[in-house]
Amino acid sequence: MLSPLDAVSRPEANVFIQALSSTNPESPSVTSVSSVRCFSFPDMPDTYLYFAYGSNMFARRLAARTPSAVRITTAFVEGHRLAFDKVSTDGSGKCDIEATGNPADRVYGVIFRIATAEERALNEAEGVGHGYRKEEITVVTVEGTLAAMAYVATKKDPKRRPYDWAFVVQGAAENALPATYIQLIRAVPSQTDPNTARRARNEACCRFLRELARKFHAFFRAISRVLRAGFLHVWPFLWQDL
């Protein structure tokens, strides 16, 4: 049985690339992998590029593991699909970037630059050698293709289900990945985490983030109303009176 994420095809990837291009007027419009070029970021000693495609897309979660992590850009890797069947010791299925050989398949994610000194901590948190291995993959961004490190599952069970994909969805949303892709993640069947304490912590974190996002949106709506009212025209005079 195909995962809902198998439905992500080249047209959706093209929409993603075009959306990235629109954020940078100087970047050329990229509509296919064949039209992109290889590039590299300026060398930064003692750092490496990491492609996050699961819960580590959520900046707060990754920062707890690697405080130096800096978001670089969004990207996708072709010929792969997102699966939730990596065997975990807690009984759930974790994310995997599964090779399909079909160039129409895409997995979206985020490129971070991380200090090399923190790589060991991230390897341990992800379980390298215990269900994951590190692999250098080629990802596609609006600027072209580049090489980055990703974690790939070595122990899989198609019967596994995630306890909750909320952190994956949160990370995808805060990085503005395609709405259709996010909905496909939401459609993946999940199960209830039997660890009530862990479930309560995760649910509390998600509630906090939703409330924070709501307040930010309200703040920017208020700023927008002030700007439309012409507040900037009177601000210099108000400043002189302070």
The domain spans of the chain are 4-194, 198-241
| pTM for this prediction | 0.68
Per residue in 95-141, pLDDT tens? 899 999 998 999 999 999 999 999 999 999 999 999 999 999 999 99
- pLDDT tier for residue 218 given thresholds of 50, 70 and 90: low
Strand partners, 78: 106
Distance CA 53, CA 177 (A): 11
Q: Where are the beta strands (DSSP E) in 191-239?
A: none
| Confidence at residue 232, expressed as pLDDT on a 0 to 100 scale | 52
Q: Domain 4-194 is of which CATH architecture?
A: Roll (3.10)
Distance CA 33, CA 200 (A): 42
* pLDDT over 50 at 173, yes or no: yes
Assigned token pair, 5: 């994420």
Assigned token pair, 241: 């009176």
Selected residue with higher pLDDT from 108 and 188: 108
Per residue in 35-90, pLDDT tens? 445 555 556 779 999 999 998 999 988 999 999 999 999 999 999 999 998 998 87
Assigned token pair, 20: 């990235």
| Confidence at residue 33, expressed as pLDDT on a 0 to 100 scale | 47
Q: What 3-state DSSP class applies to 26? A: coil
